[in-house]
Homo-oligomer: A and B are copies of this chain.
């Protein structure tokens, strides 16, 4: 996770004031950076995965986030292209700031060549985050391993379930690929895809906690390839057990809702899911 200090340090001077001023009204409830859990605060953050808004431009997406009172976003390239210049990035952050939203990471970004890896790291640096959610070809992992050291960034490999066997189907698979690499090489634990590949996301969070840098929250209708995204409270994943495990392992990153249902009209499902997750958070303190 990007700490506020790191974020400010990495960001151009023009943005420093904006970011420093962005103590969000509800941040104390569902995400903060103090490093310890106290009272109503949780270590982890309730966030949105940009992909949930694939059919919407940034303004529309931020309106929905405001409606749901969510203040963290993992930035997708359709909202901020990989080739954005500093001015465009500053304008992007200004829009987020206006909506009380912090962009905490970028991705998922697919990487099929060393050039694409180079671009992604430069992009993340310019955007001012220190986490990249990536989907790299296997043979690029040694190259990326050097990059995370050079840039001092976390690289979270997004796991993809049974649909794409060569794209890290579950947490076991990512672990196998990163366990001997730099400790900044880890995973974005997509609990839906992990479950769809027959795994238990609660157990996997516990087992692989040291390499879980980002999480995609959602629920799915079945623990198999046939399962598809559904609202958080309506699927086969035991969300209260998952949130209890987030606390047990002291997870301090983002839990970003990636909702792949009703994508033309997602607000009702997004809001129900965010509400459900916050209800679980408030009940498990």
Most buried by B among A234, A239, A279, A280: A279
What chain B residues lie within 8 Å of A227 (beta carbons)? none
Task: Give how many copies assemble into the complex.
Answer: 2
Cα–Cα distance between A233 and B271 once the two chains are bound (Å): 12
Cα–Cα distance between A272 and B234 once the two chains are bound (Å): 14
- Main secondary structure, interface of A, reads helix
B69, B243, B269, B282: the one contacting A240 at CB < 8 Å is B282
- Could you give, for residues 242-276 of chain A, a 1 whenever the CB lies within 8 Å of some chain B CB and a 0 otherwise? 01000000000000000000000001110111111
B232, B275, B281: the one contacting A232 at CB < 8 Å is B275
Q: Is A190 part of the binding interface, using a Cβ–Cβ cutoff of 8 Å?
A: no
What chain B residues lie within 8 Å of A274 (beta carbons)? 272, 275
Cα–Cα distance between A253 and B152 once the two chains are bound (Å): 56
8 residue pairs from A and B, CB less than 8 Å apart: A68-B268, A233-B282, A267-B271, A272-B275, A275-B275, A277-B279, A279-B283, A283-B283
Interface residues of A (CB under 8 A from B): 26, 64, 67-69, 231-234, 239-240, 243, 267-269, 271-284
